[in-house]
Amino acid sequence: MKKKCLIFLTIVIFGACSSTDLDRTIFIPDEDDPILPAYTEWGYNSFGAKYERDYFLSSNYIVPCKILYNNGLLYFSLNGRIRENKEMTLLIIFPFSQMVDYKDLMQLHDLEIALSDDFCEVKILQDGKEDILDVISGKLHFKRVHLLSIDDIENRVILSGVFHLNFRENIFQSTISNGRFDLGINNNFFESYL
């Protein structure tokens, strides 16, 4: 019975939503840590992670993710807030096969990226400055990538996954842990320059 109700609710929600409504951030709290969003695969345009003793979270006022493909590299950015008012972007750059359209993101399904590999670069953009992180260890895992269609028209790709990393700040080690994301990406949030 629960499954039938969930399917009905999903049909009602997505059936009644416009494409613009699907761009909103929906926050469903995690059962173990309610400050973080729960891990979902519904395209809620949310993400979150612990950053040391603070939280890095998506916001209703910032586009949570933008993706750029340029010259053999994929730029995956998570844009949100830390300490409530301070904006921050986590940018992960790695080589990938050619992508022309947002639907090409389907190739990321079940892909794991070791963030400490030489071919991968991780940056934090904050307060108008860009810091390249000295990553000790970490992983970005696109656990599930699927195409969302509305009324039989392809609308967006849903990217869901997890991430964590340890890196050096000055001489000390810092940690971003327990990261998760659930993002709906279409050509409004994806660009490609070959």
Over residues 25-42, the pLDDT tens digits come to 999 999 999 999 999 999
Question: Residue 54 falls within a domain, yes or no?
Answer: yes
| Residue 84, domain member (yes or no) | yes
Residue 181 has pLDDT above 90, yes or no: yes
For the residues 64-85, what does the mean pLDDT come to? 94
Quote the pLDDT of residue 180: 98
Classify residue 82: in a domain, yes or no. yes
d(CA 165, CA 114): 9
Q: Where in the sequence is the domain holding 154, given as residue range(s)? A: 24-193
Q: Domain total for the chain?
A: 1
Q: How does 185-194 read in b/e, with b if 16+ C-beta sit within 10 Å?
A: bbeebbebee
Phi and psi at 18, nearest 5°, equal -90, 170
Q: 124 near 90, Cβ under 8 Å?
A: yes
Q: pTM of the full predicted structure?
A: 0.88
Residue 104 Cα to chain centre, angstroms? 16
